Every structure is written in C-alpha cells, then in structure tokens.
Structure 1
C-alpha cells in the first residue's frame, strides 16, 4: 500500500531526475545564434562564407550529439552588419562571421586584418594562425571578448565601371570602395575619391554612380552581382594587394559559460573548417573570372611589379599610420611582416 511518505519520496526522486543536467541537455539543447551579412544558401551552394557557417553548424551538432546547436542567420537578418562585432564582444550575439576590418574604429588593432599589400597570397595567409602574429592577435581579441574559431582569408578583386585598376596611378579621380580604413587611406593618397560602405551596399553604390570601382573579396563580388555593371575586372587569383581576414568568431562570455566538452567541439569544428575555407576562397577567385568574363568584362591579373608599387605606397601611408596608433599596433605590424 502506497503511503504519503512513499509518494513524496517518489516525487522527490522524479524531481531530481528532471533537474539532472544530462537530461536537461538531452531534452533542450543549447542554441547559439550565428549572424553574418552574406547571402544565404545551403551547405553545398551559395556564398562561401554562408556555406562555411552551415557546415560548421552541422559539425558542431554532430560532435555534441545534438546537445549544442548553431542557428545561422544570413543577410544580417538577425543583427545589422556593423553592430555584430561589438555585440559578440558583449555577449549580446553568440557568434558571427565578420570582416574584422569593420571593427577598426572600436579596436584599432583589427585594422591589421585588411592592411594593403601586407598579405598578398594564400600561402602567406595560411601561415598566420600558427605564427607569432597569429598567437598574439588571437590573444588580443580574447582580451576584447572575442575568440577566433576559424581563420578565414579571402583574396580581393577590383570591379571597375571605368578603366582597369592595376597600379596606384589608376585610381586617381576614381570613386572607389576600399573596404577598410587603411585601404581607404592608401587609395586617398593616390588621389582616389573614397566611399565607405559594407560590401552588402556595393551594388546600389555602383548602380547610383556613388561608386565607379569597388574592391572586395571575390566571393562578395559574385554574391552581390557587380558583374552586371563591370567593364574591367582586376582578378584576385594567385596574388592581390587586398587580402581580408573574415574569421568565424564566438563571444568569450558565451564560450566560457559552456561545459568543456562543448568548448572543445566548437574549437575542433572551427579548426576542421580551415581547409575548406581556403579551398572555397580559391575556387571563388576562379569562378569570379568566369562569371565576369561571361558578362563581357575585360579580365586583368596583377604582376609582382604591380604589387611592388602597391606595397611601396602602403608602407609609406597605411602601414606607417597603423604603426603609430600604439605600441601593440607597431609590434603586430612587425610580426606580420615576418610572415613571408
């Protein structure tokens, strides 16, 4: 016969079962929200950055047995583009895949992520993560509340409605979008008329005449359809004076609150995406040439001599200005120059 004491004991035991962390994780997985500005697609089709985010999400779910899930919000549908880095720092946004140069006004050191003619090839970019610059740069971001999970580098190309852009003299008098403070500074010193906007606004800029040329990642130039207005394309395949770091990042506040096994799953999934990110970026460099060429754009490639002229100008302008910001900026630039 069940007594009142038996019933209370059973209820207490059931309550303990329901409150068990393992049961809670199984019943209600932790959801992380990942926002980015790029067009949405699937894990196999569409913008490379979106594909990276979706593949990462699938891998995290697999590694955690569904206990941790990542929801991807493309086209800045969750949060405005320029607010994402700051929100990640504060823990108001869990994750983002964002061009770090957008954060230059808030954290000056991040302008290194789009320093003209500093990184000029994928081979050079691939060395950053394990080099001293990568270690110190990651540590600085962690201090600011941001953890890099995947180092994503993109080569840049120049879409022009006017003449080809091959050397600094070619931008004189041209309305151009550079994509970052240091890039803009270099263009201004060469006589360009610089317009500041995120890559998601380049199309309307070209359409309205606010821009005559735009420099951005090959992937962005495909996704945002500037081929419709481009007469001359300076391709980014092989080499470029424009390389950008657009990492997959997570809020340190959010990361530190996760159990160790989920932290490890995020780091491992992020590292696993690096090879795919490089392959996807290189493939988009080639795809860009095909897409724009099919539209009738004249395709041009940079030579080492072209790059030397951009580097000389960048060293005298953007590099010098960056190094003068603070001691850490100067040290970062010195370390980055050591990566050949």
Structure 2
C-alpha cells in the first residue's frame, strides 16, 4: 500500500473522525432520587437520562454515562466532596447540601429569598448567578443545568401554613438557614437528606418536613402525612438543585465535548421548569387522594415567613464571609 493510500484510509476512518471528540469516556451521574426511565418517574432522574442520551449522541459516543439513582453509588451528602476531588463525575444534588463545607452554597435554599420560578431561573444570567458560578468553579464545580424547585410542607398533624403553626414540632428544613427560620418560629429542627424523610415520618421521629413538590411525591410521604401545604400559591421554600460536573472532569474533556455538555444542560432547563411546575400542581391531588388535608401557601403567610427570615437567617448568612455578603446583596436585587 502506498503512503498516499494509507493516509487516505486513515483520514476516512471512523476512528479518525472520533478523535475530534477524544476517546470514549464513561462518566458516572449520581443522585438520591428514585430511579425510572427517560419517559417515566421522578423528573430529576429523567433529566439525567435525557442528558446522558443527548450528549452521547452529540459526541458520537465519545462520552457515555451510567446513572446511579437512589444513592446507589454513594450517600447524598458524600456527593459534593467527591465532585470537588474528582472521584465523582456528575451529580444532580441540592446545592445547600454542601453548606457545611462551603457556606456560600446555602444561598440555594435561603428562606423567602426566591419566591417564584421566574426569579430563580433569572439568576443564571444575572449578577448573582455569575458570582455563584464563579465561586463554585473555584471550589471545583461546574453548573451544567440550572434547576429550581418550589417546595411544600408535609405534616403528620395539622396543616402548617403560618410560622406559629410549627411551634413545638420536630421539622426538617433542608439547609442551615431554613433550620434557623424554623427554630426562630419555635420548631425543633431535625437534619436529614430528603431520601430519609419518609422513614422518619413513619417512625414518628419527625412531625413535618419541607421538601420539593417532586420529593413530596416521589418519596411517597403521602403515606404518612395527614396534611399538606402546597407551593401553588407561592412558596418561601425554593431550592436550587443543579446538575453539576466535577471541574477536574470537565477540564479534561475536549472543547467539543465541553460544548456538548453545556449545550444539552442548558436546553434541559426548560424541561426542568415545566416538570417542577407540573409537580407543584400534581402533589395536591396525590395527597388529597390519600386523604390528607390540602392547603395552599398564600401571600399573607408568605410575608410572615419572609419577615422571620430577614431577622436572623439572612443576616447570619451575610455575616459568614465576604462571598456570602456579596451573594446575598446581589440576590436581593432580583426581588420584585
């Protein structure tokens, strides 16, 4: 075979075409939520599977993914340190779970700071979102998809609508600042990830829990709850729950692979918004069917919770360090 013939064969080879995307990588995506399929189940698991399929297609198989739902790869709280040191590739995880090691992360579940999806999703292109992305990047994390979820309250007793309703109860909040809000309102705080709530409510070691509408459904809390406060009329509990990639992993991808990851992540944000809103409506019918009393958050109750939050939770967050103070100031600029 002549040299010209050999070079022509190499140039036309599928292997040569694939080299632009580098060699295949099988990346692991972890999350704590129930598993399903692309078309059925918890939308956060579905989003991970949609992401994996689309990125694999766009990179011509250069990137492949394995999904590990239900904390089957590692515990919920172990995901952030694993992402930061590069031992975990990707995770869809509540940002506030990183609050113990990175206090800035608690901006993702600051009571009463974000009160609508429009406000939350606007963060991505606002000054607060750019600053949050910078801080997380320095800590070894890349935001691939911006996902916000409104949340409600499942209770084993009466509906919890106003701050005074939680007095004397054992309640799960979900972040340091949310816990401070509940403490100021007279509750006893119980700390746990969302996938442990159901067992605690069944055992009676937890009276009520605040969590996303999707988790209120997926973790079948209706089996233990007698009352539900929904987010249909607004919410003081809005959680930032992004799809993240380890910066160590992201940096070793080719430019084309990085572009595919970020493009697909951004495109799936519309799916996440629609799915979260659908679950805000669906959760009410799920609990009503189970015999629970269902009430909606209203503007008057929301203002009461915001007043409690401003007193201590917001102030203490802003005093933690310069990054926290800057993030809070920028986030307050987005309040309408």
**Corresponding position of 1:11:** none
Q: Report the CA distance between 1:143 and its aligned residue.
A: 0.4
> Which of the numbers 25, 48, 51 marks the counterpart of 1:53?
48
**Number of residue pairs matched?**
331
The alignment status of 1:36 with 2:31, answered yes or no, reads yes
Distance in 2 (CA, whole Å) between partners of 1:165 and 1:32 is 42
Are the structure 2 counterparts of residues 268 and 241 from structure 1 closer, same or farther at C-alpha, using a change threshold of 3 Å?
same
The alignment status of 1:326 with 2:324, answered yes or no, reads no
SS at match of 2:210: strand
Preserved contact between residue 121 and residue 238 of structure 1 (Cα < 8 Å): no
Are the structure 2 counterparts of residues 251 and 232 from structure 1 closer, same or farther at C-alpha, using a change threshold of 3 Å?
same
**Corresponding position of 2:284:** 289
Q: Report the CA distance between 1:317 and its aligned residue.
A: 1.3
Q: Report the CA distance between 1:24 and its aligned residue.
A: 6.5
Give ranges in structure 1 of 5+ residues lacking alignment.
7-13
Q: RMSD of the TM alignment (CA)? A: 2.2
Q: Report the CA distance between 1:154 and its aligned residue.
A: 0.5
The alignment status of 1:220 with 2:226, answered yes or no, reads no
Preserved contact between residue 164 and residue 185 of structure 2 (Cα < 8 Å): yes
Are the structure 2 counterparts of residues 23 and 276 from structure 1 closer, same or farther at C-alpha, using a change threshold of 3 Å?
closer
Give ranges in structure 2 of 5+ residues lacking alignment.
3-8
Tell me the alpha carbon deviations over residues 209-255 of structure 1, each in whole angstroms, 9 at most, x when there is no partner: 11010110010011110101111100012410100000000011110
Distance in 1 (CA, whole Å) between partners of 2:23 and 2:288 is 50
Tell me the alpha carbon deviations over residues 310-339 of structure 1, each in whole angstroms, 9 at most, x when there is no partner: 000000011011011011111110110111
Distance in 1 (CA, whole Å) between partners of 2:61 and 2:36 is 22
The alignment status of 1:248 with 2:243, answered yes or no, reads yes
Distance in 2 (CA, whole Å) between partners of 1:262 and 1:238 is 41
Q: Report the CA distance between 1:48 and its aligned residue.
A: 1.1
Tell me the alpha carbon deviations over residues 272-302 of structure 1, each in whole angstroms, 9 at most, x when there is no partner: 0000000000011111011001011111111
Distance in 2 (CA, whole Å) between partners of 1:198 and 1:83 is 11
**Corresponding position of 1:10:** none
Distance in 1 (CA, whole Å) between partners of 2:116 and 2:94 is 18
Relative to the length of structure 1, the TM-score reads 0.93
The alignment status of 1:88 with 2:83, answered yes or no, reads yes
**Corresponding position of 2:129:** 134
Are the structure 2 counterparts of residues 65 and 23 from structure 1 closer, same or farther at C-alpha, using a change threshold of 3 Å?
closer
Which runs of structure 2 are paired with 1:302-313 in the superposition (5 Å)? 302-313=297-308
Distance in 1 (CA, whole Å) between partners of 2:235 and 2:129 is 21
Preserved contact between residue 25 and residue 67 of structure 1 (Cα < 8 Å): no
Distance in 2 (CA, whole Å) between partners of 1:28 and 1:121 is 42
Distance in 1 (CA, whole Å) between partners of 2:31 and 2:233 is 27
